[in-house]
Amino acid sequence: MNSDNRIESLESVQISQYSEKIINTMAEALVLIAPDGMILMVNKSFERMFGYKKDEIVGQSCTQLNCDVCDFSPQGKQHKWCKLFSYGKDVKKRCHVKKKDGTYLAVLKNASILKNEKDEDIGAVEILTDISEMDRLDREVNLLSRRLLEDGSFQGIVGKSPSIQKVFELVEKAAWSESPIIIYGESGTGKELVAQAIHQLGKRKDKPFVQLNCAALNESILESELFGHVKGAFTGAFRHRIGRFETADGGDIFLDEIGDVPISIQVKLLRVLEQKQIERVGDHQPIPVDVRLITATNKNLEEMISRQEFREDFFFRINVIPIYIPPLRERLDDIPLLVDSFIRALVKRTGKKITGLTTESLNYLLAYTWPGNVRELKSILEYAFVVAEKGLIRPDQLPHSVLKKENPISMKNMVSSSNENQEKTELIQALNQAKGNQSEAARTLGVSRITVWNRMKKYNIDLKRILTS
């Protein structure tokens, strides 16, 4: 049977009688709208996606859906019509459409004008595809891309010192709690990594982890970031925006630099914690949210309370489980581990054949006061990787900020049996890389050729043996 015959066969059974069944089989939501904006028909998928029964929405204005890409313009005194359809072209846009419960669903809208034989508009048909899961995954990818790439001994956190081990123990216990958690620590100590570890170890690990740095955001922007806004809420609000709390629903939200949050926003956050619901800026529809709040700060909140810069009731609400991260200067034993972790990651990223630090370079790092903590250590090694090409990083390849401090502890006081083993290992590595050339090995180690010769004698190093081994 050819195509013409098939068409005639379909026409003979009056395919239109099956149109309702076909439409209700669709996975996408379908809406038929009259020229005056009245909703004429919806399918079963629309009812499922937006929470309306057919009788509740048919006959209502399409403006009730509050789609944020619709631009309404008055046409006469009786109704409004969407400018999108006045262009006479099909529309395909991502947007947010309001559900019956007041929340918004991310959808892909395909809309077309329906015309009669006289080319007059008789309505419009819209197909709405739920893309909320795709939007959620996009947001998670963006968040994950900002995380540190280094592997570590505990959920990406490197350290074996007693002080950091205590942090690890408390994180494991706090992770399963539903109570608010606050992380205290100086800038650069790794508060974000601790927050991520709490999420990964908790029962919400399969739900979203959403974070926001509250510093340097003015009140209006911060409020919109946290709670979202509806179209037209303020100048420049051209679309609906889902806030961080809605995005984090079911999971954890991490608010860094909570000490920088304005008093007015603290009041609203306190209300969220007590009522477990939010309101978008420009809207009075309460939206239920189920999130665990994790905060962090490098400030003394109790002192801020005494200066009336922080609300005491909000402090007591978020200070349920405090976790204190020690500064790097209080866990110097972790520096070699951190250096090794960062160098491995930098080697992988840059492809450079850098094997570590000379003993002198490590001593400089151990004598430094680390005002920028772990973040500063990472930056120093990144600088060294720009300067150095291969082998061991020498002191002259470290930033001046490290070298200008007082000289590190002298080798006589510093070197123990373990350091002697490290010195011997470094010497053998340098000689191997230099293929036995003692002058080149000396340059790699940052010492004189005589020092290399003396160390070879000290450790009874047979050059021929190490080159053939």
pLDDT at 331: 92
Q: What is the DSSP letter of 340?
A: H
pLDDT for 190-207, tens place per residue?
Answer: 999 999 999 999 999 999
**Contacting residues for 93 by C-beta, under 8 A, at least 6 apart:** 69, 108, 109
Whole-angstrom Cα distance, residue 361 to residue 373? 17
Q: Is the pLDDT of residue 26 over 90?
A: no
Domain ranges of the chain: 3-130, 135-326, 330-468
pLDDT for 280-300, tens place per residue?
Answer: 888 888 889 999 999 999 999
Higher pLDDT, 116 or 258: 258
Instruction: Read off the tokens for 307.
Output: 């200066």
Whole-angstrom Cα distance, residue 379 to residue 383? 6
Whole-angstrom Cα distance, residue 116 to residue 223? 48
Q: Is the pLDDT of residue 393 over 80?
A: yes
Superfamily of domain covering 135-326: P-loop containing nucleotide triphosphate hydrolases (3.40.50.300)
Whole-angstrom Cα distance, residue 104 to residue 265? 23
Is 337:159 a contact under the CB 8 Å cutoff?
Answer: yes
pLDDT for 366-376, tens place per residue?
Answer: 999 999 999 99
Domain 330-468 sits in CATH at: 1.10.8.60
Whole-angstrom Cα distance, residue 434 to residue 389? 13
Choosing among 1.10.10.10, 3.30.43.10, 3.30.450.20, 2.120.10.30, the CATH entry for 3-130 is 3.30.450.20
The mean per-residue pLDDT over the stretch 55-77 comes to 76
The mean per-residue pLDDT over the stretch 6-12 comes to 47
Whole-angstrom Cα distance, residue 48 to residue 29? 8
Whole-angstrom Cα distance, residue 125 to residue 412? 84
Encoded amino acid at 116, one letter = N
pLDDT for 139-163, tens place per residue?
Answer: 665 555 444 333 445 777 888 888 9
Higher pLDDT, 266 or 113: 266
* Cross-strand bridge partners of residue 61: 38
> In angstroms, what is the C-alpha Rg of the chain?
32
Higher pLDDT, 438 or 72: 438
Encoded amino acid at 190, one letter = G
**Lowest mean pLDDT across 102-106, 118-122, 419-423, 442-446:** 419-423
pTM of the predicted structure, to 2 decimals? 0.63
Q: What is the DSSP letter of 107?
A: E
**Contacting residues for 145 by C-beta, under 8 A, at least 6 apart:** none
pLDDT at 117: 81
pLDDT at 140: 62
**Taking all residues of the chain, what is their mean pLDDT, rounded to a whole number?**
82
pLDDT for 86-139, tens place per residue?
Answer: 655 677 888 888 888 888 888 888 888 888 888 777 888 888 998 887 777 666
- Cβ count near 468 (within 10 Å): 7
* Helices assigned H by DSSP within 175-278: 191-201, 219-227, 244-247, 263-275
